[in-house]
C-alpha cells in the first residue's frame, strides 16, 4: 500500500474524548473510519450536545419571614416551564433530513438547605442536543433569550448562565472518497447497498471532521450497549473485518 494505516485506541470516548483530542495534536490522516457499532450500516451524521448550568438566585431567610426571602426553587420553576416550552418549539422547527430536530432537557437540579429556610440558590444543569447549523453559541443565545424574558416578566427573577462541555454535531458528504469506497465494499460484502443512517448520540467523528479529516462511522452488529449483557454478533465482526480490509486496500492503493 502507498499509505500508512493508523489505529487509534483512545480513552475517554464516553465523555469528553480527550484521547482523540490528544491524538489529533500529533497525527493527521487523509480519511478515517470510526468503528462504533452501527449494525453494518453507514452512519453519515450525528447530533452534538451542549451542557449549561443555570443558577437561579434568591434570598435566604427564615421560613417565618417571607417578606425577607426570595425562593430560588420557586423561581426556578418558571424556568423549567419555559425550558419545556422551548423543547416543544424545537420539536416543531424545520428538521434535519437524517437527525430530525434538536432537543433540550433538564438533567440535574440542586437547591435548598433545610425545610425552614428560603433557598438562596437553585442550580439546574441542562443538556441541549444539537443538529448541523446549531452549536454552543447558538444555544447560549437561545437560553439567554428565554432567561431574559423571565427576568422581564417574573418579579425578582435573577440568574447566571454558565457554559459547560459542548461538542459539535457531525455530517459527512456522501460523495467524499472514503464514504464512496467503504460503501462500495460494504455492498459487495453484504449483497445489497448498506443502509445510510444517522445517530442521536455524539461520537469522535465530529472531532476528526473539525480537524479536516474526512470520516464516517461504520461498525458491527450487536445489542444492549452499556448493559451487563452487551455483545457483538461474531458473524458481523467477520464481515466488518472483510469490509475494512477491502476499504483500506482500495483507498491506499
Class of residue 118 by CB neighbours under 10 A (exposed 0-12, middle 13-18, buried 19+): buried
pLDDT of residue 190: 95
Cell numbers for 133, please give them.
447549523
Cell numbers for 121, please give them.
440558590
pLDDT surpassing 90 at residue 104: yes
pLDDT surpassing 90 at residue 13: no
Q: Identify each DSSP E strand in 27-119 by its residue range.
A: 32-34, 42-46, 48-57, 61-62, 103-111, 117-118
pLDDT 10s digits, 116-172 = 999 999 999 999 999 999 999 999 999 999 999 999 999 999 999 999 999 999 999
Cell numbers for 215, please give them.
470520516
pLDDT surpassing 90 at residue 2: no
Give me the residue label for grid cell 459527512: 172
Higher-pLDDT residue of 16 and 155 is 155
pLDDT of residue 18: 92
Of 48, 43, 69, 42, which Cα lies nearest the Cα of 58?
Answer: 69
pLDDT surpassing 90 at residue 15: no
Compute, in degrees rounded to 10, the torsion defined by CA atoms 175, 180, 184, 190: -90
Residue pair 71/56 in contact by the 8 Å Cβ criterion: no
pLDDT 10s digits, 212-230 = 999 999 999 999 888 899 9
Residue pair 95/200 in contact by the 8 Å Cβ criterion: no
Amino acid at each position: 500500500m502507498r499509505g500508512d494505516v493508523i489505529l487509534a485506541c483512545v480513552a475517554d470516548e464516553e465523555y469528553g474524548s480527550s484521547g482523540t483530542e490528544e491524538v489529533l495534536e500529533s497525527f493527521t490522516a487523509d480519511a478515517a473510519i470510526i468503528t462504533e457499532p452501527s449494525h453494518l450500516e453507514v452512519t453519515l451524521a450525528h447530533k452534538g450536545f451542549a451542557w449549561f448550568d443555570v443558577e437561579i438566585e434568591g434570598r435566604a431567610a427564615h421560613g417565618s419571614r417571607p417578606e425577607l426571602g426570595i425562593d430560588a426553587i420557586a423561581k426556578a420553576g418558571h424556568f423549567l416551564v419555559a425550558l419545556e416550552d422551548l423543547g416543544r418549539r424545537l420539536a416543531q422547527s424545520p428538521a434535519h433530513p437524517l437527525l430530525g430536530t434538536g432537543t433540550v432537557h433538564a438533567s440535574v437540579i440542586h437547591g435548598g438547605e433545610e425545610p425552614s429556610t428560603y433557598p438562596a440558590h437553585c442550580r439546574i444543569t441542562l443538556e441541549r442536543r444539537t443538529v448541523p447549523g446549531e452549536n454552543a453559541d447558538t444555544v447560549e443565545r437561545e437560553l439567554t433569550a428565554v432567561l431574559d424574558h423571565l427576568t422581564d416578566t417574573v418579579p425578582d427573577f435573577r440568574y447566571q448562565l454558565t457554559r459547560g462541555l459542548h461538542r459539535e454535531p457531525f455530517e459527512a458528504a456522501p460523495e467524499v472518497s472514503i464514504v464512496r469506497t467503504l460503501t462500495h465494499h460494504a455492498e459487495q460484502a453484504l449483497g445489497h447497498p448498506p443502509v445510510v443512517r444517522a445517530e442521536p448520540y455524539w461520537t469522535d467523528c465530529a472531532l476528526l471532521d473539525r480537524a479536516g479529516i474526512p470520516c464516517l462511522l461504520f461498525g458491527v452488529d450487536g445489542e444492549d450497549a452499556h448493559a451487563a449483557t452487551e455483545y457483538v454478533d461474531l458473524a458481523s465482526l467477520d464481515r466488518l473485518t472483510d469490509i475494512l480490509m477491502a476499504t483500506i486496500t482500495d483507498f491506499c492503493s
